[in-house]
Amino acid sequence: MLNLDAKTLNQFKERYEADKQSLAVAGAIAKVGLNDASVNPEVLRRHTFVFSEEPKIGKITNQKSSGRCWMFSALNVARLDIMQKFNMETFEFSQAYTFFYDKLEKANYFLESILETLDETTDSRLIKHLLQAPVQDGGQWDMFKGILAKYGCVPKELMPETFHSSNSSRMAAYLTTMLRSFACELRTQHFTAGKTAEELREAKAEMLYKVYNLLVKCLGQPPVKFSYAYRNKDKKYVRLPETTPQEFFRTYVAWDLENMVSLINAPTADKPYGHTYTVKFLGSVKEAAPICYLNVPIDVLKQVAVASIKDGHPVWFGCDVGKNLLGKEGIMDLDSFNYDLTVGEYQHMNKAERLDYSESLLTHAMVLAGVDLDENGKSLTWKVENSWGKDVGKDGIYSMSDAWFDEYTYQIMVNKKYVPQEYLAALQEKPKELEPWDPFGALAMMQ
């Protein structure tokens, strides 16, 4: 056994002081930090932000200090249908509207999960997992699919941003404390008074009203009916007939949600390609269909994304955004930093190993808004529409290398018409259930 005793530490010190390169680099790292001292200038020259396939997108949006990236990216894809139908240069949906119902539905989903697990001990791994973050901002495409189907969507003007929609941490923390207290109350009544889950649901209704009360005060009252007026690109004034949020989505976005599928790339041994997966106790709208991932090789994932983009439809996608990211420049490239030169080499893990050893998972959702293809149709770089405002990247646009896509992109949402026929049969099978703490139970929520 090796102990960090005085002899060992002295050997480390002597070895370090004999390494002239480490001594030279140490000053730069101490002065500007590891990342800036390790930037690879060659990467900056590689990314020209010119792409051969670029469908139209709207103005860059800004989720600000909230974890609503998965909503922003989905709505940024959905708004393109509105822009085309209404002949508008840009358009934006209310993210506060969908945020309101996501929080309310997550509260209900959490309380139902507590009622479904009353016989679990309080120190069980499952109960600890449920209590960890019952109403966090993050989410997955299938969770948003349930929100859209049940509640529809509204233009941003009809439910604008509030302090807490753009700065959600304090609201989420208060809701979390409230829901943990409710969980304690429900479980205590079960253990001490012998109340069943069905009996406890009477108390749940009052608990949900308290959540609703807080959400209205923080986010505003969602519209039930509205009339929307706008001017199109030709400056023509148009007023739509009064409608509901659900009718607005069905009529003007007109997505067939049943045809929108979630593809993942999980090259781990426990998730064979060509099969579907779901995650236990992960969801938002309780009565909605459970999350369903179809696992495909990375080349298939890219093939499907390219097909959708070439057909004029940008693609919602989830990735581990913080890896090798030049944030200000908006570059996602495996070679962004020369860490091996500044701090030394070590054996790097592959994608499957990173998932298995908790080194990587889905953290952020954005939009694949274009791709640069070579003369043989191979993807070189990808145009990414982010939702962090115009002050990062090139006016809010990022450039992602194809190699970075391979290693850190985990999920896309597309119409299933772009998916190769040999994989579609898997959508008819019963998905394999993954444990709640599986890496693909992670939620996109990076701010």
Which letter, b or e, does each residue of 233-245 get, where b requires 16 or more Cβ atoms within 10 Å of its Cβ? eeeeeeeeeebbb
In 41-137, alpha helices (H): 41-46, 69-86, 95-116, 125-132
DSSP-assigned letters across all residues of 199-214: HHHHHHHHHHHHHHHH
Q: Which two tokens stand for residue 438?
A: 């599986």
Task: Report d(CA 29, CA 32) in Å as an integer.
Answer: 5
Please count the residues of the chain.
447
Q: Which residues are catalytic?
A: 69, 364, 386
Pseudo-torsion of CA 30, 34, 40, 44, nearest 10°? -100
Contacts of 191 (CB under 8 A, 6+ apart): none
Contacts of 236 (CB under 8 A, 6+ apart): none
Instruction: Tell me if 109 sits within 8 A of 221, measured CB to CB.
Output: no
Q: Which amino acid is at 381?
A: T
Measured CA distances, 397 to 78, 322, 385, 411 (Å): 18, 16, 5, 19
State phi, psi for 276 to the nearest 5 degrees: -110, 155
Between vectors from CA 226 to CA 225 and to CA 231, what angle results, nearest 5°?
A: 160
3-state secondary structure of 72: helix
